[in-house]
Amino acid sequence: MATKPFAIIAGVGPGTGASIARRFAKSYPIVVLARNPQNYQSVVDEINSSGGQATGISTDLSDSKGVKSAFEQIKAQFSGSSLAAAVFNSGGGFVRKPFLELSEEEFAGGFESQGKGAFNFAQNVLPLFSPPATATTTTTETGTQQQHPPTLIFTGATASIKGSANFASFAAGKFALRALAQSLAREFGPKGIHVAHVIIDGVIDIPRTKGWVFESEDAKLDPGAIAESYWHLHTQPRTTFGFELDLRPYVEKW
């Protein structure tokens, strides 16, 4: 029976999600969620073969039944452990189009992915947290040690705070996600759960963007550095919770 606190990362492809998984796997057994196992298999293998512990589960976060079943599997595997951290990093689910060319399904896709997906994730994740009664390191009832307050982090984007031409679907989804993050921070913060929202403002340096060339060097966000900021947020004590942090390359216009 597992007894160490563990972490769950949702939305793990070869980019930011994989880096966050690697970072949290230094301290916790981790579960990674993605629709397509191809997306997470290599990082799961990498972690397991380098001394960490990782499990991949295929699920579509916008499907509440599927998510519930994934979490039954997680609860069975980590029975007796408490959840240390959870990260919602799902992307996709939207198209970039002139507004009048969007179908209702395309428009709603942003919310399906970012709103409903985050809702399903949060509803399953929150009951697994057991915040300590004081700010100091404690031993929980189940005998597990918890060094940092339980943490739920959501990944935002430029479109979380700005709606733009052709981005109605994505912006509607990302705005809704930020609304959810604020609502949860204000409801669960006082219960000792750290809810945070990170605005990623720029192009991330991932396989898909390898060919995108910029005038300046280092013009893309580094997934490893993003992961370090997520980890930093996780380590903050409940006296000093950060809610929102915006990250961008030094040359980004904003």
Q: Which of residues 180-219 bind a second copy (CB under 8 A)?
A: 180-190, 192, 194, 205, 216-219
Q: Indicate the SS3 state at residue 203.
A: coil
Residue 109 CB, shortest distance to a second copy, in Å, is 11
**Nearer of residues 49 and 240 to a second copy, judged by Cβ:** 240
Residue 66 binds a second copy, judged by CB under 8 A: no
Number of chain positions touching a second copy (CB under 8 A):
82
Residue 130 CA to residue 133 CA, distance in Å, equals: 9
Residue 134 binds a second copy, judged by CB under 8 A: yes
- Closest by alpha carbon to 181, among 91, 114, 226, 90? 114
Residue 214 CB, shortest distance to a second copy, in Å, is 11
The residue range among 3-11, 22-30, 50-58, 113-121 that interacts with a second copy, by the rule CB under 8 A, is: 113-121
Residue 70 binds a second copy, judged by CB under 8 A: no
**Nearer of residues 70 and 221 to a second copy, judged by Cβ:** 221
- What tokens appear for 45 in the block? 């293998």
Residue 225 binds a second copy, judged by CB under 8 A: yes
Do 9 and 89 form a contact (C-beta atoms < 8 A)?
Answer: yes
Residue 23 CA to residue 63 CA, distance in Å, equals: 28
Residue 221's DSSP bridge partners are 204
Quick one: angle between helices 117-125 and 64-77, nearest 10? 30
Selected from 87, 108, 128, 157, the binder of a second copy by CB under 8 A is 108
Residue 49 CB, shortest distance to a second copy, in Å, is 27
Residue 238 binds a second copy, judged by CB under 8 A: yes
Residue 245 CA to residue 229 CA, distance in Å, equals: 9
Do 234 and 193 form a contact (C-beta atoms < 8 A)?
Answer: no
Q: Indicate the SS3 state at residue 10.
A: strand
Using CB under 8 A as the binding rule, the residues of this chain from 46 to 65 that contact a second copy are: 64
Pairing of strands 145-146, 30-34: unpaired
**Nearer of residues 12 and 184 to a second copy, judged by Cβ:** 184
Using CB under 8 A as the binding rule, the residues of this chain from 152 to 181 that contact a second copy are: 159, 162-168, 171-181
